[in-house]
């Protein structure tokens, strides 16, 4: 009984912090979230064929305008909502770069729902403060992470990058 309890406690704390997470980037290379320590991060699940896909342009502008202030936009492709990201990683990267000139980091395409939910979204939707927990409802939902790796905001798909910038000003007093 004691052994089982220890293993269970360890599994809960594996991703206790944002900076502990590790995933693959869109090129298949290891991406360690420890590289984001001390930065403000906007995590957004993206899609290529969604009614909100044009937000990629605004997210890129937001990234360009705020990266010198320690902000990073992290794009997370997923095909979980209506099959709106049929491309593989190479195709999604090409789409983002050619159509929207995206330069912010992109993770590999993976699910953010269900039993196979990627580690980042397990942490965001299950281990963040209770008022930010719960499954993502659609593409282009945004999570705001502060320099200490704490979730400070969650915004639904309809929140435009321009509105998000106003919210960032309130959250971070910039």
Q: Which residues participate in catalysis according to the annotation?
A: 50
| d(C-alpha 57, C-alpha 150), whole Å | 26
Q: Pick the closest to residue 123 from 19, 9, 41, 8 (CA basis).
A: 19
**Where are the extended beta strands (E) located within the chain?**
22-24, 30-32, 40-46, 71-77, 142-145, 151-155
> CA dist 166 to 7, 16, 62, 111, 163, Å?
43, 29, 11, 29, 5
């Amino acid at each position: 009984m004691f052994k089982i309890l220890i293993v269970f406690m360890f599994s809960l704390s594996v991703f206790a912090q944002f900076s502990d997470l590790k995933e693959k980037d869109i090129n298949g290379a290891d991406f360690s979230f420890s590289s984001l320590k001390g930065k403000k991060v906007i995590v957004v699940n993206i899609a290529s064929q969604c009614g909100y896909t044009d937000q990629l342009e605004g997210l890129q502008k937001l990234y360009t305008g705020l990266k010198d202030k320690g902000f990073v936009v992290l794009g997370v492709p997923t095909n979980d909502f209506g099959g709106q990201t049929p491309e593989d990683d190479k195709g999604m990267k090409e789409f983002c770069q050619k159509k929207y000139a995206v330069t912010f980091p992109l993770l590999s395409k993976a699910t953010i729902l269900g039993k196979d939910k990627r580690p980042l979204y397990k942490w965001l939707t299950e281990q963040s403060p209770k008022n930010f927990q719960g499954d993502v409802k659609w593409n282009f939902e945004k999570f705001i992470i502060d320099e200490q790796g704490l979730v400070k905001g969650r915004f639904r798909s309809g929140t435009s990058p321009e509105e998000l910038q106003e919210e960032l000003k309130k959250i971070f007093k910039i």
